[in-house]
Amino acid sequence: MITEEIASHVFPDNPTPFAPAPWARSPHLQSIFASLRLRALGKNEMVDNARKIILDGGGGVRLLAFHSAQRRKKPKAFVLLIHGWEGSSDSTYMLHTGRYLYRLGCDIARLNLRDHGDSHHLNEGMFNGTLIAETATAVGNAAGLAPDLPFFIVGFSLGGNFALRLALSRNGSPIGRLCHVVCVSPLINPYRSTVLIDKLPLYRHHFLHKWKRSLRRKQKLFPQLYQFDDLLHLNNTMALTERLINRYTEFDGCRDYFNHYTLETKTFHDLAVPVTVVAAEDDPVIPAG
């Protein structure tokens, strides 16, 4: 089992309520803080000891990850991190959290979901939020890198949604020695969050800029499969989602698509392992309620 030292840091019984200084209480400012590269500056032993790996996702799917094993001491646990939408293994929160846990004595794996990070070339198929089967297979194979260690998953935003689905017993056999799943601001209702993004110009611009860059890259790699030029003028996340879903998937529109990875309250009755959810009541895009 995981040591009491790490458990007390990662899963405190009585966490201190978050109380930022008055000048930092804006939820929008807090969202910006989470991605500030400043937080990832300085020496990072996790990155220094990382090796690139390609994980088998089944059916020919390949997912990119970075594995950082302890070099100077016996590892206490193995933690896999999953980023949010249009994030990557090199997102600030991934580097910051990974470094923290690595220094506590954990082995770390930072997973890139399909078409995230430098991985667009690995698969012809395009990413969408319902791809839990390939993620579960890849995570199971990652757990096999250290089969004797207690295994933990930490997911952020969309990665938190994937992590919650990995914790559900209906999604197949248990993953290795999976002991606990932690979800930070997990995406629960993707339709509602997409509506909120479109109502907030700063967030809409941020996500559309990164998403369109990703689409251009996919089109350049697989021009025989994808043609996005007539869609890239769209400045609405919901509209772009609808067009892509209708053109490249078999879902019956974006509501049907979103429903396939929406997590309702009843979903949590089917958890196969303990789960800790960290959420903010005033999150502008993923409200805790």
Cβ within 8 Å of residue 4, ≥6 positions away: none
Q: What dotted CATH number matches 1-6+37-188+266-281?
A: 3.40.50.1820
The candidate with the shortest Cα–Cα distance to 133, out of 106, 162, 102, is: 162
- Within 10 Å of residue 52's Cβ, how many Cβ atoms? 10
Residue 146 has pLDDT above 90, yes or no: yes
Mean pLDDT along residues 142-170 = 94
The percent of residues in the chain predicted with pLDDT above 70, rounded, is 84
Q: Supply the pLDDT for residue 283.
A: 83
Residue 126 has pLDDT above 80, yes or no: yes
Distance CA 180, CA 154 (A): 9
pLDDT digits (tens, 9 = 90+) for 185-228: 999 999 999 999 999 999 999 999 999 999 999 999 999 999 99
Residue 33 has pLDDT above 60, yes or no: no
pLDDT digits (tens, 9 = 90+) for 35-63: 656 665 679 999 999 999 999 999 999 99
Domain boundaries, the chain: 1-6+37-188+266-281, 189-262
Residue 230 has pLDDT above 80, yes or no: yes
Q: Is the dihedral of CA 171, 186, 105, 49 positive or negative?
A: positive
- 104-118, 140-154, 169-183, 200-214: range with lowest mean pLDDT: 169-183
Cα R_g (the chain), whole angstroms: 19
Structure token digits, residue 27: 């939820």
Q: Supply the pLDDT for residue 197.
A: 97
Q: Which of the four pLDDT bands, split at 50, 70 and 90, describes residue 77?
A: very high
Cβ within 8 Å of residue 267, ≥6 positions away: 164, 168
pTM: 0.90
Distance CA 103, CA 45 (A): 8
The candidate with the shortest Cα–Cα distance to 129, out of 89, 164, 85, is: 85
Q: Supply the pLDDT for residue 1.
A: 45
